[in-house]
A and B are shown apart, each in its own frame.
Chain A
Amino acid sequence: MLLQLGKGMIVSVEIFVLTLLFSLPLGLIVAFGRMSKNALLRTVTKIYISIMRGTPLMLQLLVVYFGPYYVFKIRITNHYRFIAVIIAFAVNYAAYFAEIYRSGIESMPIGQYEAAKVLGYGRGRTFFKIILPQVIKRILPAVTNEIITLVKDTSLSFAIAQAEMFTIAKQIAAAQTTIMPLMAAGVFYYIFNLAVAAVMERLEKAYAYYR
């Protein structure tokens, strides 16, 4: 049982890592769109964020997975299941991260931009050297919250029968009529999140050298 759950956990971790890998940068791009001077781009990203936050992630998973078949009559392969999970999660979490980035960027005092401009920093250099490092420090607690939620949200992929830890635990529980696998899965998620919290705390400490 533990061996099977362990395999499932590897898949859960894969979902977790890949989602962060794609959604963190994607969120920054969406945040730029949300703050753009271009009204069309601003509206489009606003609607996108609104839908991502306003509908269930489980529903989004189903749409991404079954959508190609129902809409375009494309045959869904088994291989696509995992890809669908990553797409749905990345696109959903990017919306949340975008709003976190935006709140951080908009909280930066204008004086930082002006000081940089007078010293000759260009726009890109100002953002990446002066603004972004300070934004990251400010948004770390909010990002930690999202990441911890993501660990637990990976279990939603049972909705399209992706064989990650929760799906497997449920299968074993049903086959052997015991609740133990579900309890074990719970412990796994908890330990996973303890580790995540520890990492994020270290990161916050690393940024604590200034105020």
Chain B
Amino acid sequence: MKLLEMNHVKKQFNGLEVIRDISLSVEEGEVVSIIGPSGSGKSTLLRCATMLERMDSGELIYLGEYAARDRDGKCVYAPKAELKKMHRYFGLVFQSFHLFPHYSVLKNITDSLICVDKLPKQEAVERAERLLAQLGLADKRDAYPYQLSGGQQQRVSIARALAKQPRLLFFDEPTSALDPELTVEVLKVIKELAKEHMTMVIVTHEMQFAREVSDRIVFMEEGVIKEQGTPEQLFGTENERVREFIGHLSGGSLLT
């Protein structure tokens, strides 16, 4: 089953075409990594998928339900109530975490469950505690975000996203704000999720990680998908530009 479908997406910022006709779909259980140079439109694509940006044209479909349709080249979004429902299908983990600094770790996770999803408080707390234990953060339950390392903060933000029990989880460069040591602990968590067949779309610069975790890797440049395939296909590609990019980021060691 297709969880996400994006068709012919276009997006401009002040006349600058950031995304030029991209189509991408994600199957249930699939892990898709998006790689590419800075300014290639990777993050914008993710922001369009998560409705933080409005597309100029194209279609956005979650679980067969239209969030946005294309009408004569113009993008028409579904009514607010429907979009709100579709927001439950996905979660997003940001590059710089965006935890709520005035809430404890526990409340960061439970607050939206209680006040948005109307979960009984006890159930929300139990769910949060389970996730925190799973991510090795059980003792940080009552800490505030500023008391945590970057890696811990990012794991909390993953827990916050997972607590909503999304069908699909997006990651926007989840380790770009972390030093190498902390990067490892976050990547480990994402790998665990991949093992449990969580459907994920990950924008990343970590080539080794993308290769290990992905079912499919998408290479984006200048607002289009230049190449995509299994990690084996992509790391063994003939495409000079892709080889150059991967070689540059991995010191050439990953190319086959």
Contacts and interface: CB of A to CB of B under 8 A. Distances in A.
Contacts of B99: 115
A111 B94 contact: yes
A208 to B, nearest CB: 11
A5 B74 CA distance: 72
Contact of A118 (B92, B96, B144): B92
A149 to B, nearest CB: 28
Contacts, number: 53
B11 interface: no
B18 to A, nearest CB: 17
Interface residues of A, number: 20
State the majority secondary structure of interface residues on A. helix
B92 A209 contact: no
Interface in B42-82: 50, 52
A120 B144 CA distance: 22
A116 B50 CA distance: 13
Given A118-B50, A209-B144, A112 B100 contact: yes
A119 B146 contact: no
B102 A133 contact: yes
Nearest to B91: A118
A106 B46 CA distance: 25
A210 B101 contact: yes
Contacts of A211: 101, 144, 146
A114 B144 contact: no
Contacts of B164: 119-120
B98 A111 contact: yes
A111 B96 CA distance: 8
A120 B94 contact: no
Contacts of B91: 118
Interface stretch (B20-28, B108-116, B230-238, B243-251): B108-116
A173 to B, nearest CB: 50
Contact of A129 (B92, B111, B117, B144): B111
B111 A115 contact: no
A117 B52 contact: yes
B188 interface: no
22 contacts: A109-B98, A112-B98, A114-B98, A115-B98, A115-B100, A117-B52, A118-B91, A118-B92, A118-B161, A119-B112, A119-B164, A120-B84, A120-B88, A120-B116, A120-B117, A121-B115, A129-B111, A129-B115, A130-B100, A133-B102, A134-B101, A210-B102
Interface of B: 50, 52, 84, 87-88, 91-92, 94, 96, 98-102, 111-112, 115-117, 144-146, 160-161, 164
The 9 closest A-B pairs by CB, nearest first: A115-B98, A111-B98, A119-B112, A120-B116, A211-B146, A210-B144, A118-B92, A210-B101, A133-B102
Interface of A: 109, 111-112, 114-121, 125, 129-130, 133-134, 137, 209-211
